[in-house]
Structure 1
Amino acid sequence: MVTTPTNLDNPCDNLTLRKATRYLGATYDKTLASVGLRATQFSILQRLGAHGEMTITALADMIAMDRTTMASNLKPLTRERLVTVKTSEADRRARIVTITPEGLSRMKAALPLWREAQTRFEERFGADEAALLRTALEAVLQTGFTPWAE
């Protein structure tokens, strides 16, 4: 028989958050599949569409992702010619990401599907509750942790 220490019987914020993230993320992934995007890819294209070109580091910071994971997420988007990644002329160490016309078109095709997923979630969870959840989760990002600091 395996026994668990009593301190692990308490709710785990990380596990609860990850479970909810996987659940909701899979819902958005399924909704966006018909246009060939995953939710993370849509978010990247949407950020680039709204803010223009930026460094991989700035994009990763905007999405709260470490730079290495962002670079990995950009590879399929680059292969599909939805984004370009080029060395910065100002700083040869920096890589600049730009959404292509094809990427903008794909993001626009995905937008109604994303809105559909958003609406379905807010209908089931509650629009006010969803707004409060977004506010609470944004506050998590201000807790002072530095998960990707080198």
Structure 2
Amino acid sequence: MKKENKQFNLSNVRECTACAGFNTRKLNRVITQIFDDAFKDIDFRSTQFTPLVMIFANGPITVNKLSENLVMDRTTLGRNLKPLERDGLIKIEPGIDKRQKLISITDKGIKLLNRAYPIWQKTQKKILNQIGETNWQGMLKEINTLLPKLQKVE
């Protein structure tokens, strides 16, 4: 069977520069890099900070609930949790229902969080000073409005 060679009209391809995915990832990469640079002296990454904070605040917490809270699929979450578990920052154990896994923060994780939190505060303040409190509050409001709507997109 012959494959059909489809031609696309590329005259309007520039509209792709307004892509929701591309532009939000672009902003995310910049912000992630700012936090990663700030955390580098304690050998920590921003992708580790948020799960550790969520585990501290809500733990012990199931993998499913953490995945839901972080709006992250379980596979990606599992990859992000492996270094935290390997480094002794979190503990993953079977729950009451053996199908569930419970995640809790360890004393070592709390110590690292105590070191990371002031760095996060300082960096967050720098970001807000750069973009302005009004812009940030507006963006946060938009995120909180858009997120539930986009979670329903099929």
Question: TM-score, normalising length from structure 1?
Answer: 0.89
| Structure 2 residues without counterparts, runs of 5 or longer | 1-8
Greater Rg by CA: 2
Moved >3 Å (runs of 4+): none
- Residues of 2 paired with 1:130 and 1:83: CA distance? 31
Identity %: 26
1:40 and 2:47 correspond: yes
- Residues of 1 paired with 2:72 and 2:11: CA distance? 32
- Residues of 1 paired with 2:124 and 2:135: CA distance? 13
Match of 2:37 among 30, 34, 47: 30
Match of 2:101 among 95, 101, 105: 95
Structure 2 counterpart of 1:60: 67
- Residues of 1 paired with 2:49 and 2:150: CA distance? 27
Relative distance call for 1:120 and 1:45 in structure 2 (3 A) is same
**Aligned-CA RMSD value:** 1.8
Q: Which has the higher helix share?
A: 2
1:13 and 2:20 correspond: yes
| 2:97 counterpart SS class | coil
Structure 2 counterpart of 1:117: 123
| Structure 1 residues without counterparts, runs of 5 or longer | none
Aligned-pair distance for 1:35?
1.6
- Residues of 2 paired with 1:36 and 1:19: CA distance? 24
Match of 1:78 among 85, 106, 129: 85
- Residues of 1 paired with 2:151 and 2:130: CA distance? 32
Question: TM-score, normalising length from structure 2?
Answer: 0.87
